[in-house]
Each structure stands twice: as C-alpha cells, then as structure tokens.
Structure 1
Amino acid sequence: MKIELTRLSSVKSSDIIDLMNHPLVRRQMPLFDGEFKPRDCDSFVAAKEKLWADFGFGPWAFLVDGQFAGWGGLQPEEGDADLALVLHPDFWGCGKAIYNKILQQAFGPMGLGSITLLLPTTRVRVSGVIGLGFKEEGIVTIKGHPFKKFRLNKSN
C-alpha cells in the first residue's frame, strides 16, 4: 500500500464533496450542517490552504495507491497542532498507516513536542486513542459543540 500526503487543492472537488457527504463520515463531524456543496468545498479548501500560507502547515489529502482516501493531518488549533483524520469508509483499514505517516512528519521534520486530538463527546469508544498514548485533557467547546481533547507527547 502506497500512501501519499498531498495538498487538498490537488484533489478533485467532487471527491472531497462525496467524502464530506457520506453518512458514516458525517456522523463523526458535528461542525458540518446540511449538505456539503461545491461552494462549501471551495471555501473549505481555501481555508485549509490559508493555514499552509499562514502557519506553514495544514491538512493534507491522503492518497492510497493513487486514490483519494480522505483528508487530515495537522492544523493549528489554539496554539496546538491538532490531528484530524477523515477517511472514506472504504479506507478505514488504512487509518493506522496514515496516522503513522502523520506522526513521522509531526515529530520529525515539523519538530513538534506534542499533538492534540479532538473527538466529539458522542464518540464514546476512545480506548484506541488511549492505546496510542494520548492522554485526555478535558472538554473544549468549538462553535457550541463539546469535544474531548487528548494530547500525545513526543516521548510517548
């Protein structure tokens, strides 16, 4: 399996729209309301590209064997580098390998001391996150929605 990290702007909008409207994906994304339309995609990609311009890092598009599998990586969130991993259900089995590739970037070339992870409080199964070494730090609210915040330190 070949995993590539590339910019979201290099992916077809229709692939991103299909992912963002998939019902199994939407269940885990409380900040998105209604249908994700082409204009939403344009704004979304532009905002993610602005992160790269402003901070020097941001989310990637994930390609698995040349196919768009999802998006995520690290993006600035209140002084932290926050991990996101949004995969099409067809690629859920690739999550660990993509996660490892992100960690290599975070704790290698990016030189980060820690990363954070925000999960909706509706996501009750967190043992996998704990098993990866993340420690729960509490609840944060973003746009009126509560999230559990976890941190992984480089030494873990």
Structure 2
Amino acid sequence: MDIEFKLLGEVQKSDIIDLMNNQLVRRQMPLLTGKFDENTCSKFIEAKETLWQNHGYGPWAFIVKGQFAGWGGLQMENGEADMALVLHPNYWGIGKLLFKKVIDKAFGEMGLTSITVLFPPTRTRIQGILRLGFIKEGKYQVGNEEFIRYRLNKPVK
C-alpha cells in the first residue's frame, strides 16, 4: 500500500479541519472541545511542530494513495513517548498497518524501550491493543480529563 509520512504543516489545513470536526473522530477525543477552525488548526500544527523541535519526534500526517488519511505517531507525554492514531473513518481499516510502521520506527531507528497510549474510559473496545501486547497501567490525568494508560514494551529478541 502506498503510504507516506509527512509533517502536518505539509498537508492542507482544510483536510485536518475536516478530520478533527468529524463526529465519529471527535467521539474518541475528549480533549477536543469546541469548533476546530482554521485558527485552532494553525495552533495545533504549531504545537505539533514544536514537539519535533524540542524532542526530535512528533506526529506525522498519514498520506495513503495521495490522500490525507489522518495523523499520529509519537509525542512526548510526561517524559514518555505516547502514541496517537487519529484516522478518518474511511481509513479505520489501515490502523494496524500504520501502527506497525510507527512501532518499527519507535523500537528500531528511535531505540525506544516502551511506548504508551492513552484511551478515554469511554473507549471500551480495547481487545485490539491488548492483543498487540499493550498492558494496562492505570488511570492518567490530562487536563481535566481522565484516561487509561496502556504500555507496550519493546519485544525481546
């Protein structure tokens, strides 16, 4: 499958705005409140690019067959690499493939020993991440929202 990783600033803001205003996407993102407009998008891109500058990694835009499919990757969360994967519903079927590409980067070229993922407690369909090897660590607070944190350790070879 033709997949590219680009910086968020390299894609059309309108594509990001459409994604972040999609009701199916928003349902999984309790920190995403209010309208996600062009001004919000500019601040979002700037914040994500700052992660790259400060930590050497951050989220990418996922381009599938030339089309923006979503964004995600690793970003610093309280001193740890936390994974995000935000896809347009039309691309939910390729989440596992994108996950594998991000994990290969994390445990390969980046040399990380573990990553985390944060899910809102309302997200009850978690069997997929458990099958991938994530282990539940417990509750984690971001702003005024509570999440459940899961950790994936680098496989021992």
TM-score category, normalised to shorter length: over 0.9
TM-score (norm 2): 0.98
Amino acid at match of 1:49: E
Q: Which residue of 1 aligns with 2:63?
A: 63
How far residue 103 of structure 1 moved from its aligned partner, in angstroms, is 0.6
1:123 pairs with 2:123: yes
Q: What is the Cα deviation at residue 143 of structure 1?
A: 1.0
Alignment of 1:10 onto 2:10: yes
AA partner of residue 84 (structure 1): A
Provide the residue aligned with 1:79 in structure 2: 79
Deviations 1:44-102 (A, max 9, x none): 00000000001100000001111100000000001110000000000001111110100
Using the alignment, how far apart are the partners of 2:67 and 2:144 within structure 1?
A: 34
Separation of aligned partners in 1, 2:41 and 2:7 = 14
Instruction: Give 5+ residue unaligned stretches, structure 2.
Output: none
Does 2:140 match 1:145? Answer: no
Alpha-carbon distance between aligned partners in 2 of 1:2 and 1:82, rounded to the nearest angstrom? 25
User: Which amino acid in 2 is paired with 1:17?
Assistant: I
CA RMSD of aligned residues (A): 0.7
- Aligned-partner Cα distance in 2 for 1:77–1:39: 24
1:51 aligns with 2:48: no
Q: Which residue number in structure 2 is paired with residue 30 of structure 1? A: 30
- Structure-2 separation of matches of 1:8 and 1:112: 23
Separation in structure 1 between the aligned mates of residue 121 and residue 143 of structure 2, nearest angstrom: 14
Mapped pair 1:133 → 2:137: no
SS of residue matched to 1:111: coil
How many residues align? The count is: 156
**TM-score, normalising length: structure 1:** 0.98
In structure 1, stretches of 5+ residues that fail to align are none
2 CA distance for matches of 1:105 and 1:66? 21
Identity %: 56
How far did 1:34 drift?
1.2
What is the distance in 1 between the residues matched to 2:112 and 2:66? 28
Letter in 2 for 1:112: L
